[in-house]
């Protein structure tokens, strides 16, 4: 019976599309590009905090709005997988599937920390 059990990892490697950060730094300059990435990371982390509070309050409308707002910002700094998960969360909340939304929100929160740190590190190394 235990032969059919598949162990799932609780961690997911961050995936940063480095071309987005390189393009930002090329068009704005190294220092300004790094500042833009750092401000975006701060905004995203603030929204993740608000998303977690909305989840605990069972406020699905706010969860959907916050997830949607994370999509564009994270895609602009190269966090494409993170943006896809946020988009999936937004769509799932709109569809009313709160069980799947809870799972996606958990994935988004787990992936968020490592992705945001990776984006800042890449911006620092590029500059």
Q: What are the average pLDDT values for consecutive 10-residue runs of the chain, which has 127 residues?
A: 63 81 92 94 97 94 96 94 96 94 93 92 82
pLDDT score for 74: 96
pLDDT score for 127: 56
Of 127, 51, 121, 37, the C-alpha closest to 93 is 51
């Amino acid at each position: 019976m235990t032969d059919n059990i598949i162990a799932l990892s609780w961690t997911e490697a961050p995936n940063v599309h480095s071309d987005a950060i390189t393009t930002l730094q090329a068009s704005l300059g190294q220092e300004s590009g790094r500042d833009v990435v750092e401000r975006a990371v701060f905004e995203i982390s603030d929204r993740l905090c608000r998303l977690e509070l909305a989840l605990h309050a069972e406020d699905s409308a706010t969860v959907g709005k916050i997830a949607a707002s994370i999509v564009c910002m994270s895609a602009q700094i190269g966090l494409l997988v993170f943006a896809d998960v946020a988009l999936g969360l937004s769509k799932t909340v709109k569809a009313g599937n709160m069980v799947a939304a809870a799972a996606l929100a958990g994935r988004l929160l787990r992936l968020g920390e490592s992705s945001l740190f990776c984006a800042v590190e890449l911006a620092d190394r590029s500059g």
